[in-house]
Chain A
């Protein structure tokens, strides 16, 4: 078994297609999301649809959890099987902060009262741009516009409140916004070092896992914003020319098995959020999830709030570019 980066695996399939190798391809299954998924789906490089035919699909809750049906606004249409849910949660040190801010507006107010105690990873880092998307949801009157590709005339008007918000927030950031942490681990390290009071992550179990590891103080807790936080589902897809399609299908089905999902949600194993609906499970399987100790800082599923849909990938690219021009190259 070879481990590729997703982009490498995609490149591999593309070059196989170019070389006319339409069967016996080297990649059997890929964890794929966002721009990579779209480009493969649109170019006919994926096998399927298969996901909704999997025997274990019946446990997937598509009503309460529509993110399993779309990937960054693009309908999956069975070309990928969901295997884990990720949702942004904020992490704060309850020892020094009793009432963390639960909206974009509350965050700037809190930051101006507590300068230097909040920051976010520098875009184009994935978590950094995700935070900007989260802010967009907070400052836009009608976030529905994020669900389609950018119409050029709209872009300036839609994002203007975001830049105004950031102009206001940055002077109160950690190091006055003169420098930003590079990525999620760096942000988490700042929380552990007590350099900041609030951090965030796409993995709701990250804080608990770090506390269990002894690398984060056990007073850290997680929370979500009142209006919800960005969530997405991770998908497993099968290339059109996979040499072992049957095996890949078995794998995709197995990952949706309640026993395996429960094991994956165990913070001691992976701590990933399940894609299954609890009320679709049998008594025995539901008990497996109930028995899980999610960890001291992890919110129970009922308190995770609304999972906001990922904006169309266009937004991420354009906003990251704009961010760099505005804030990324200041002396």
Chain B
């Protein structure tokens, strides 16, 4: 197992290399240097062009406003659910209901939400005409609203499950259950006690995931294309628009905008961090003032439950609506249900879908396979060596904190210059940059908390390090590994920007197709692709839970409880 010694270094290089290269690849063209397109001298022309674009101020404002609000609201809902229900049976039910949402790709969730909320969507249909009197869809601006409210809603329903699961993992590090009990015996309400005692311990543990959510939200592309403002769109969407302009001269301007996006994200992160400090300062007296706040529980507990239900419901009904659309014949407003159901859409899309599924699965398997090998090697290295490795591996978060739209275009430019033809290998390699952090995040906790005594016993029986790894640790952690693979696969399936840009639009995956179709408004075809896009990770998770169970069906001790 001496190879594991190099694993952390290799992993860090594989993750940070593309990010750094990508950043260089946009910074140079942002200042006019890109010989392949005739930019031979440094200039400020791209910045001048960018500043001349009349929508710049609003686009930046859209990005910050939607990203920061979405993060704030998602965090608030997450904490409210935790404060109101942690430790109860209801809490287990909430997490069970929310966690599948984690695997739903952002684009699929957005398309479903768009159908649900549109004036001609399912909610309006369900209420018309009996409650609303609407015989025709009302002329209301909901999806693509200029304030980005629908985009915020979309981001929130996708980020709450992520933050909740990250928090649950973090809570196991602090003795929250007993602390909470103590506050209650001192007369604090459940929520007040949680906020005053558990939250200050929990927040530092989930700061990094919160920051990742913030960085993601201010720079998201696929969800913003489907739900976000359009006149102008958010900065990230506009960058993509310029990157895809047939007039290659727009690449310079797009690069300058990508650099700006980097600053926007950095500014948002910094502002968030400063606000954190401010809140901590200001709340100090309140925390110790002794107000018990028992009345809060009566109102806030049902509210928390309602918000959790709303998140689950929005995604579930949105996707169910798209599923129905994919089988729908004529389906006029305000009918709640199509007049006829048929297989025509699936039949017609069969060829395209099969192709997209194949590409999606191949890329997903390549990226996930590489990620799991690297993760295991890193964890093994960390286990056998020291905490320095563990600290170094914090670098894994880098690709989650640097906006994709800020460095993937640069990476694309570099592959162009290097003359590397787009291929599934190249796409998978870039997916790895995003898949690996999530695989690592989901596997590291179970790996680190593995009962080492099993290893000690095996060593005592004469097993070598590598034999302990292969014959004891891997089998015992097979379920955690399978779940990490499923998480990685789901991450790969959901990648829009890297797939689109790195493949130069030549490789169609379920996600690139679903997002491209999203603008077209053919709900039947959108429904088919969104459904397939959602089912791909779902199958991954089903296999992840099924295979270990099947493998160890005659091992009493390995039974999943």
Contacts and interface: CB of A to CB of B under 8 A. Distances in A.
> A183, A188, A331: which has the most chain B beta carbons within 10 Å?
A331
Given A182-B520, A186-B521, A331-B146, A175 B139 contact: yes
Interface stretch (B74-82, B329-337, B483-491): B329-337
Contacts, number: 87
A189 interface: yes
B459 interface: no
A53 interface: no
B230 A122 contact: yes
Given A7-B246, A330-B231, A195 B344 contact: no
Interface in A176-209: 176, 178-183, 185-190, 193-195
Interface centre among A193, A195, A217, A324 (most CB of B within 10 A): A193
A214 interface: yes
A188 B344 contact: no
A48 interface: no
Interface residues of B, number: 33
B523 A329 contact: no
B306 to A, nearest CB: 30
A31 interface: no
Interface in B329-370: 329-330, 332-333, 340, 342, 344
A194 B340 contact: no
Nearest to B521: A189
B231 A327 contact: yes
A188 B521 contact: yes
B141 A178 contact: yes
Interface string A1-35: 00001010000000000000000000000000000
B404 interface: no
A194 B333 contact: yes
Interface string A162-178: 00000000000011101
A291 interface: no
A195 B340 contact: no
Contact of B520 (A115, A175, A189, A194): A189
A331 B59 CA distance: 9
A215 interface: yes
A195 B524 CA distance: 17
Given A7-B246, A217-B332, A329-B54, A183 B519 contact: yes
B521 A214 contact: no
Interface string B132-143: 000011011100
B39 interface: no
B55 interface: yes
A5 B244 CA distance: 13
Given A189-B521, A190-B521, A195-B120, A175 B141 contact: yes
A325 interface: yes
Contacts of A186: 519-521
B492 interface: no
Given A185-B521, A331-B58, A178 B340 contact: no
Contacts of A161: none
B144 A185 contact: no
B54 A183 contact: no
Nearest to A185: B520
B522 interface: yes
Q: How large, as a class, is the contact surface on chain A?
A: 35 or more
Interface in A106-122: 115-116, 122
A208 B145 CA distance: 32
Which of A175, A190, A324, A327 has the most chain B CB atoms closer than 10 A to its own CB?
A175
Contact of A213 (B119, B144, B344): B344
A90 B137 CA distance: 21
A213 B230 CA distance: 30
A328 interface: yes
B135 to A, nearest CB: 9
Contacts of B119: 195
A175 B142 CA distance: 9
B232 interface: yes
B139 A194 contact: no
B372 to A, nearest CB: 35
Contact of B231 (A5, A188, A328): A328
Given A214-B330, A214-B344, A331-B146, A179 B231 contact: yes
A193 B333 contact: yes
Contacts of A185: 520-522
A213 B524 CA distance: 11
Interface in A307-331: 324-325, 327-331
A113 B522 CA distance: 29
Contacts of B524: 215
A182 to B, nearest CB: 4
Contacts of A122: 230-231
A59 B256 CA distance: 53
A182 B114 CA distance: 15
Contacts of B59: 329
B230 A329 contact: no
Contacts of B246: 7
Contacts of B332: 194, 217
B399 to A, nearest CB: 30
B55 A329 contact: yes
Nearest to A328: B231
Contacts of A324: 54-55
B246 to A, nearest CB: 5
A214 B55 CA distance: 40
**A-B pairs, 3 with minimum CB distance:** A189-B521, A329-B55, A185-B520
Interface of B: 53-55, 58-59, 119-120, 136-137, 139-141, 144-146, 230-232, 246, 329-330, 332-333, 340, 342, 344, 505, 519-524
Given A179-B144, A215-B524, 19 more contacts: A5-B505, A174-B139, A175-B141, A181-B521, A183-B519, A183-B520, A186-B520, A189-B521, A189-B523, A194-B137, A195-B136, A195-B137, A213-B344, A214-B342, A214-B344, A324-B54, A329-B59, A330-B231, A331-B146
Interface of A: 5, 7, 115-116, 122, 174-176, 178-183, 185-190, 193-195, 213-217, 324-325, 327-331
10 contacts: A175-B140, A176-B141, A178-B141, A179-B145, A185-B521, A186-B520, A194-B137, A195-B120, A330-B231, A331-B146
